[in-house]
Structure 1
């Protein structure tokens, strides 16, 4: 399934010095040689596609260049594809898993090329993410997202009680993150009702509210807000859910955030709740 085009503002990275290139010095010499013949190959922005192999979905990333790192791609895909940063495995042609600190130029990624993304499959994570992508609450309930679950993996059966709870909590959050990104309201509600945290973050510093705001799923946003999701939490790029919605021009999301803030304010002052339609002119 083809994704509905790139998110506005995706991957606007200025050229930066290459790093993490010690593994293939000879290849970098080849890139330097090709750059001298065609300098735009490295510095001129280009687009590429990322294919999520488990579903066949394709995401378009623009404004990449030879100095763009794999880490930067994964950070963007964390928001664009809804697959948390640490569960992405990126591959290009036959080069194996791409290391985070390597660059597109290092891997000879050409303009318009296709990078494959696979979900980390160890310890049952791939199965969990796929169930969350489907939004199937019945499947999720059998995959270790609640403390009373009978689901076990070779890793989890060796965990002590405290570590086992942390493992369950992480699985519940990852499922919530993916489900809210896809707008699966019922799955998200099931997870929240059973203890999934709307305060937890991916390694990029994003909460479930960040991705719900990015994708414009107002029903999931209102659900997360009801469970105490913070509006002011910043990711590692310094963006709050509100700022992401503003950057991506999600007007309905901004409206939902504004109404929520007004409800909190009027409740604190003991006033009656304003009608949502009266708030719209104040937003834009």
Structure 2
């Protein structure tokens, strides 16, 4: 078999004019896979993405780059579905424009509505607003807009909500290395251990995307959580004591035998972790 050939593609977000680079693409890569990649690269959830190439036709999710005659280094256009003013919301979030976001239905007391939302009952309307707030939060965390992130969290945007690929705002902030946004999300109880559909956590993504600072930041937060959950026993059981704890220091922990032999007590070292990973085995 021939070795897989990888190449890069440019992806232009039509609403903002931003151009992102999708690396390690290959001929048999499906458009669905590219969308999942762009959810991190461009910060746009997969269910809002419309991908086109050369003409205006949408590229089918199960079609491949080769099938669509997409060449290495080519430029794919990423468009946002226009219904429900999603394209306006994405543009405002991509620019970190808090005033525009506030007018586009991301707060619980919003007066914003669409023809569809006007027919929703209170429960449906609440879910609709929560979803809009999450999308804005996801994009803001991707771009590293701390003020917008704080605004959205303060007004109830969920740190637990996920994209269709299972990613939270913490996932994308970690992949992009946006430390300030990571701190803010953690302050609002973002779940550091929450996995996406590929069972990758925010810490995993920080490592995979080479964000060493964010990886360490999340790792230390993880250790602090673990330390806070530990319960210190005020009194140990007899079976839990080591030899030097069982005997008074004035008492000998060795014996002498015939021919001047010395028999030492078998003192065991406390079990230590191998490495620094939180789930590393003990010696």
TM-score normalised by the chain length of structure 2: 0.78
- 2:69 alignment partner in structure 1: 108
| Deviations 1:161-191 (CA, angstroms, capped at 9, x unpaired) | 1111110010000000000101111111111
Match of 2:194 in 1: 233
Q: Does 1:211 align with 2:172?
A: yes
Between Structure 1 and Structure 2, the one with more helix by share is 1
Find out whether 1:136 has 2:136 as its counterpart: no
Aligned with 1:49: secondary structure?
strand
Residue in structure 2 matching 1:69, options 30, 36, 43:
30
For the structure 1 residues 222 and 107, does the alpha-carbon distance in structure 2 shift closer, same or farther, using more than 3 Å as the test? same
Give the Cα separation in 1 of the matches to 2:230 and 2:72: 56
More divergent stretch after superposition (175-184 vs 246-255): 246-255
Q: Compare relative contact order (CA 8 Å, sep 6+) and give the higher one, 1 or 2.
A: 1
Summarize the alignment of residues 1-284 of structure 1 with structure 2, pairs less than 5 Å apart. 44-94=5-55, 96-269=57-230
What is the CA-CA distance between 1:269 and the residue it aligns to?
A: 4.5
Contact 2:203-2:219 within 8 A present in 1 as well: no
1:137-170 superposed Cα distances (whole Å, 9 cap, x missing partner): 2221111111210001111111121111110010
Q: Would the aligned equivalents of 2:16 and 2:94 in 1 still touch at CA under 8 Å?
A: no
- Per the TM alignment, residue 249 of structure 1 is displaced from its structure 2 partner at its CA by 1.9
Q: Distance in 1 between matches of 2:121 and 2:220?
A: 44
CA displacement at 1:45 relative to structure 2: 2.7
Q: Which runs of 5+ in 1 are unaligned?
A: 1-14, 16-38, 272-280
What CA distance in whole angstroms lies between the structure 1 residues aligned with 2:24 and 2:47? Answer: 23
Task: State whether residues 22 and 41 of structure 2, in contact with CA within 8 Å, keep that contact through their aligned partners in structure 1.
Answer: no
Structure-2 change in CA distance of 1:264 and 1:150 (3 Å): same
**CA root-mean-square deviation:** 2.1
2-structure distance, mates of 1:107, 1:241: 33
Q: Give 1 or 2 for the bigger CA radius of gyration.
A: 2
Moved beyond 4 Å, runs of 4+ = none
**Partner SS for 2:62:** coil
Q: How far is the alpha carbon of 1:228 from its aligned partner?
A: 0.8
TM-aligned CA deviation for residue 87 of structure 1: 0.7
When structure 1 is superposed on structure 2, of 252-261 and 124-133 the one drifting more is 252-261
**Structure 2 gap segments, 5+ residues each:** 233-274, 278-283
Any idea what SS the aligned residue of 1:71 has?
helix
Alpha-carbon distance in 1 for matches of 2:156, 2:30: 36
Partner SS for 1:166: helix
- What secondary structure, in the 3-state scheme, does the structure 1 residue paired with 2:148 have? helix
Measured after TM superposition, the shift of residue 266 of structure 1 is 3.6
Give the CA deviation at 1:263.
2.7
Distance 2:12 2:111 in 1: 33
Task: Return 257-266 or 213-222, whichever deviates more.
Answer: 257-266
- Give the secondary-structure state (helix, strand or coil) at the position aligned to 1:47: strand
Closer, same or farther in 2 for the Cα pair 1:228/1:108, shift >3 Å?
A: same
